[in-house]
Chains A and B, each alone.
Chain A
Amino acid sequence: MEIIILSVISIIMIIAAILALYANKLVTAIISAGVVSLLASVIYLLLAAPDVAMTEAAIGSGLTTVVFLYALNKIRKSGEGDG
């Protein structure tokens, strides 16, 4: 049973990672990179590593996404990015 859940989460992670690389909009890429981190933290939790899972969920999917979004906003404001 556990192997099925892990496989499904891994496949969704790979799809989200590919989406992050090929997405046309940068916002989509940032959000799907956050999804990869969030699902990675679920996998860490299932594999009995709660400390790493907490770090990954808080930093990887929470704070990093926000920092990227702020940075994207700054680039857009300065008018050099193509968004």
Chain B
Amino acid sequence: MAKRILITITMAIFIYISLPFVTNFTPATELSQLSQKYVNDGPDEVGAPNLVTAVIVTYRGLDTLGEIAVLFIATAGIGFILSREKKISSSKRESSAILKTGTKVLVPLILMFGIYIFMNGHLTPGGGFQGGVIIASGLLISILANPHGKLNKFLIQLTESISGFGYVMIGLLGLFLAGGFLDNSIIPLGQFGRLFSAGAIPIIYSLIGLKVGSELVNILSYLKN
């Protein structure tokens, strides 16, 4: 009972704190100065039709590096905590026939969709993080369908290391060859709106996608045991 009262009090405090956001809300009619600069200069400087990608990968590229570092540390922590108990549980149920059959059809399609999303991150909504998570959820279905199967941990960790290393290397190349860390103009910008355009953004986003995907699969494989 005390738990429920505490929950109610916490909820009331949160509602009281966030009430001004609702009552004093006025929708913005024009862009702020910074967004105005991104909207005006983004297409010429970066060459990506999806402006969100332009901001995430180039203008705020260092933030993305930080996010990936946070994800890496989280994965390392989960691995450190969960890899201690080596108890192998043999009481796992077999998965149903529907799940097994559906997995065979769906997993290749889901993996392909994830790759499509991070390859087209500079053209359409989505990007490395979203594509990586979709790849991880595709592999999650195959983990659920074969609870006794073993994942190739070496391959997952190799993918993770190589893509992380490549991402930082491309960032450093931008520092030496172009304007700054993670500058995408180390490769010619190309024609606006084509798949191979926007400089290094498709390569950077593919590496981010592979890194995020392999890290999340790593977490799932730790949790599975």
Contacts and interface: CB of A to CB of B under 8 A. Distances in A.
Contacts of A53: 125
Nearest to B126: A54
B52 interface: yes
A67 to B, nearest CB: 6
A55 B125 contact: no
A54 B130 contact: yes
Categorize the interface residue count of chain B: 20 to 34
Majority secondary structure, A binding face:
helix
A74 B223 contact: yes
B223 A71 contact: yes
Contacts of A51: 50, 52, 125-127, 130
A50 B117 CA distance: 12
B200 interface: no
Contacts of B126: 50-51, 54
Most buried by B among A18, A63, A74, A77: A63
Contacts of A54: 117, 125-126, 130
Majority secondary structure, B binding face:
helix
A58 B216 CA distance: 12
Contacts of B130: 51, 54-55, 58
Contact of B140 (A21, A55, A66, A74): A66
Categorize the interface residue count of chain A: 10 to 19
A29 to B, nearest CB: 11
B129 interface: yes
Interface of A: 18, 21-22, 50-51, 53-55, 58-59, 62-63, 66-67, 70-71, 74, 77
Interface of B: 4, 7, 11, 50, 52, 89, 117, 125-127, 129-130, 133-134, 136-137, 140, 216, 219-220, 223-224
